[in-house]
Structure 1
Amino acid sequence: MEALNPENVLKFMNLVNNLKHSSRRGWSLINVENHEHIAGHMYAMGMMTFLLGDDSNLDRFKCLQLALVHDLAECIVGDITPQDNIPEDKKHAMEDEAMKEIASNLGEDIGKMIYNLYKEYEAKETPEAIFVKDLDRLDMLFTATHYEKRDNTPRKMQEFFDATEGKFKHPFIQKLVKALLEYRNKPHQLEGSVPNGIIKQ
């Protein structure tokens, strides 16, 4: 593997660290206080890749890698939402250029790997990319449910549930969504309580 330029690695780290302080704007647009940052969303998705059993046909490590790079471009372009009225093709072009800039700091080997992972996720054609997109949507619904419970604002986040209905592909994620919806419809529970059955495969 080629030697990396320390100055370029620091540039990469500086870009990535932006995500620890960058708001998930979808929540701010509906006035959710104390909401998550982009890095927190990516962390949650990464943790969920461990839910894959050893008997899964999916490559767990590949899923983890995809989860960690899927929103990486947002450290440069920010979290673009539909309310920004940016055409989808322009949004993808902006993110693609951002990923090329990010990858350019990491040399031919690592940079190309990260860029290719990003392109794999964007294409949504491999089983791993499809699964990670399921995780992306699941984390959004889980977080929406958390805010509804925390802030005692039942059904406030219904638009997110409507937007993802029928879009989940993986059977286990479908079970998780079903359990989450049942939990969402129950009376408020103490913070930190776990919906019954939500961690069982």
Structure 2
Amino acid sequence: MEKLEKFIESLNLQNQISLIDVPEIDLYMDQVIQLFENKFKDSIRNDDEKILTKTMINNYAKSKLFFPIKNKKYSKEHLLLISLIYQLKGALSIHDIKETFKGINRMMADDESFKLDRFYSSYLELCNSNVANFKEDIKERVQEANSEVIDLETNESEYLEKVLLIASLVNVSNLYRRAAEQLVDEIIEIEAGKKEKN
């Protein structure tokens, strides 16, 4: 069990851009990249993996994943949206992220009462809850994989347990991704309905 605790700890699950991490002043692109690299450097698998690059940010802007920047500077709200994009891009396509954020970008432009930092704070609360749930869930999945391997009666049990656990985790990931994609489709339908009424 101690080995599992170390494994979970090595995942850096609570590594998120917090509201405290985001300065109140607008940042240039290089400063944005530096902020993300400093925050997520312990979360990458290897040194070749890029956290955030100028090309990525430019592509997000061209794809209209966030509202336009002013004077080549990124506001606190831009950083919060880029942080959300960073988290979502592991599971959703750029198109799906764009569709998901259309309403938020519209509210940022039209609704002065909409506070993105409050929304982002709610997201962080859900993330904390998800991490706690994940820690319990992964322990159960490890036990399940271990039970299945014992039934196989083989001398390759440690290897096969890892393969079963990988397959199980990917399966769960795919189930959640499919649910998220279905919700994106529902957002697209709602937005299409709004356009028809106008």
TM-score by length of 2: 0.26
TM-score by length of 1: 0.25
Whose helix fraction is larger, Structure 1's or Structure 2's?
2
Higher relative contact order (CA 8 A, sep 6+): 2
Decide which structure has the larger Cα Rg and report it: 2
